Amino acid sequence: MSTGTPRPMIGAVVLTMNDRPDEFPAAMDSLLSQENIDLDVVVVGNGCDPAQVPDGVRTVELPTNVGIPEGRNVGAANVKGDLIFFFDNDAVLPSRDILARLAAEFARDPRRAYVQPRIADPQTGVTMRRWVPRLRTSDPDRGGIVTVMAEGVVMIRRDAFEAVGGWPGHFFLFHEGIDLAWRLWNHGCTGHYAPEIIVYHPATQPTRHELFYRLNARNRVWLARRNLPAALIPFNLAVWTLLTLWRTRRLSALRVSLAGLIEGIRGGHGARSPMSWSTVVRLTRAGRPPVC
């Protein structure tokens, strides 16, 4: 009788809109080739009937595009596994042990609710600053405890994910990873960045999305109003506004950002569940106070 460690059971969620005919098959090939794990995969068609899906992989067809976070919630509800791996359909796992290595990271600290690998462009090897889940992004090789996540390639413990309600589905796009990470921290958990585990993803810019500036601003307001103690909300939004004014050079983009800011202030953020002040202290000690 075997006395070895049980193989981790991982549910993998992949979204598609049938708009990546070259990247999607490569992503799926790399996912299905993972070894030393038990894997359950679902492909969610966000407003489409998923195409190019390998034999044996289940699919869920959504009649309309419900957005990335809600699509991932649907996928999570349709896979088995104590761990859930959310995987962008243009990413690639460069070796067959990636998921097993990510799963092993949870055993190192029972407080870990999520583990993020280092994400790198397959052509240049560059890790974009927005993929590094901490404030000081100049050294993507420095791992450890982190308080946010890059949503497109991350593994999360199912029990923690479900305990905090999953992704904020109504965000549609942008900042859902910060929202989920904050709620996981408020649940008593932590996050871990494992840069020695590398996953490939094209180095694209979020500004390629037409909705970026509006949703980025709107969701930033929603993020603060949903999660922060009332006293911290104006500080958080003031810091974000100043950074936006400094980074954005196009007047048209600033106008759209202002429209999104106003939209967020008007409401729609959903149920408010502010984090405790002890969570604020924990986040601050971990290197990222929730005002930036």
Quick one: DSSP state of residue 126? P
The confidence score (pLDDT) of residue 172 equals 96
Environment class of 219 (CB within 10 Å of its CB; exposed 0-12, middle 13-18, buried 19+): buried
pLDDT of residue 208: 57
CA-based nearest residue to 191, from 282, 274, 99, 69: 282
Is there a contact between 283 and 290 (Cβ–Cβ < 8 Å)? yes
**Taking the domains of the chain in order of start, what are their residue ranges?**
9-204, 207-285
- Tokens 């280092």 -> residue: 118
Q: What's the whole-model pTM score?
A: 0.94
Which tokens in the block code for residue 154? 């991350």
**Burial of 253 from C-beta contacts in 10 A (0-12 / 13-18 / 19+):** middle
CB 275 within 8 A of CB 181: no
Tell me, what's the pLDDT at 1? 44
Return left, alpha or beta for 131; rule: phi > 0 is left, psi -120 to 50 is alpha, else beta: alpha
The residues that bridge with 83 in the sheet, in sequence order, are 10, 157
Positive/negative CA dihedral, 218, 233, 147, 132: positive
- Is CATH 3.90.550.10 the classification given to domain 9-204? yes
124 in Cβ contact with 166 (< 8 Å): no
Q: Which stretch of DSSP H or E encloses residue 107?
A: none
pLDDT attached to residue 209: 59
190 SS3 class: strand
8 A C-beta contact, residue 151 and residue 68: yes
What is the Cα–Cα distance from 18 to 32, expressed in whole angstroms? 19
Tens digit of pLDDT per residue, the chain (292 long)?
445 678 999 999 999 999 999 999 999 999 999 999 999 999 999 999 999 999 999 999 999 999 999 999 999 999 999 999 999 999 999 999 999 999 999 999 999 999 999 999 999 999 999 999 988 888 999 999 999 999 999 999 999 999 999 999 999 999 999 999 999 999 999 999 999 999 999 998 776 556 889 999 999 999 999 999 999 999 999 998 888 888 777 888 889 999 999 999 999 999 999 999 999 999 999 999 998 7
pLDDT at 137: 85
